[in-house]
Chains A and B, each alone.
Chain A
Amino acid sequence: MIIDFTTAAYLSIAFWASGSMLSIAAKSSPALKKTAGALNLGGSLIMIAFIAIYWHALERPPLRTLGETRLWYAALIPLVGLLVEYRWKISWLKYYCMGLAAFFLTINLLHPEVFDKALMPALQSPWFIPHVVVYLVGYVLLAASSVAAWHNIFLSWRIKEEKSYDALSHYLALLGFVFLTFGLVFGALWAKDAWGNYWSWDPKETWAFIAWLIYLGYLHAVSHKINRLKLQWYLALAFIVLLVSWFGVNYLPTAANSVHTYQQS
Chain B
Amino acid sequence: MKADRRKLFQKPWEFREAALIALTLNAVGFALQYASGGSGVTMPEWPMNAITLTLSACLILAVGLGYRNNRAVAWMGGIPLGLSLILTLAALSFIGGMVPQESGGNPTAVRLGLHSIFSSWPFALTVVIFLINLGLSLSWKLVPFSIKNLQFILFHAGFWIALSCGIFGSSDLQRLVVPVEEGQANSQGYIIKSREAKQLPFSVFLHDFSIEEYPPQLLLYDPKTDRLVMNSAQAIPEVCTGATAEWKGTKVVVTDFIASALPGKDGIPVPVDPAAGVPFAKIRITSYEGEGETWLSTGSPMLKPAAVNVNGFFLFMVAGSPKSFRSAVTLRDENGFEKIANLEVNKPVNFKGWKIYQMGYDEQSGKFSTLSLIEAIRDPWLPAVYLGFFMILAANALFFWNGIKKSGASS
Contact = CB atoms under 8 A, between A and B. Distances in A.
A201 interface: yes
A196 B90 contact: no
A112 B234 contact: yes
A31 interface: no
A220 B82 contact: yes
Contacts of A189: 386, 389
Contact of A257 (B82, B101, B344, B397): B101
A34 interface: no
Interface stretch (B92-100, B282-290, B301-309): B92-100
Contact of B175 (A119, A125, A185, A196): A196
Interface residues of A, number: 54
A13 B203 CA distance: 60
Contacts of A220: 79, 82-83, 86
A171 B403 contact: yes
Contacts of B80: 224
Interface in B78-92: 79-80, 82-83, 86-87, 89-90
Contacts of B106: none
A122 interface: yes
7 contacts: A115-B234, A118-B320, A171-B410, A210-B93, A217-B86, A220-B83, A256-B100
B100 A254 contact: yes
A214 B90 contact: yes
Interface of B: 79-80, 82-83, 86-87, 89-90, 93-94, 96-102, 118, 166, 175, 214, 230, 233-236, 238, 320-325, 344-348, 355, 357, 375, 377, 382, 385-386, 389, 392-393, 396-397, 399-400, 403-404, 406-407, 410-411
Contact of B393 (A185, A193, A214, A257): A185
Contacts of A192: 382
Contacts of A214: 87, 90
A62 to B, nearest CB: 14
A114 interface: yes
Interface of A is mostly: helix
A214 B94 CA distance: 11
Contact of A182 (B87, B234, B382, B396): B396
Interface string A245-257: 0000100111011
Interface in A73-124: 87-89, 112-122, 124
A193 B377 CA distance: 11
B100 A207 contact: no
A238 to B, nearest CB: 10
Contact of A254 (B99, B324, B325): B99
B90 A178 contact: no
A257 B100 contact: yes
A181 interface: yes
A216 interface: yes
Contact of A122 (B97, B346, B396, B397): B346
Contact of B118 (A112, A201, A210): A201
A121 B406 CA distance: 43
Contact of A196 (B96, B236, B377): B377
A133 B249 CA distance: 41
A182 B395 CA distance: 11
Contacts of B322: 120-121
Interface string A193-228: 111101101010011011001101100110110000
Given A88-B411, A175-B400, A121 B324 contact: yes
A185 B321 CA distance: 29
B233 A115 contact: yes
A122 B94 contact: no
A177 to B, nearest CB: 8
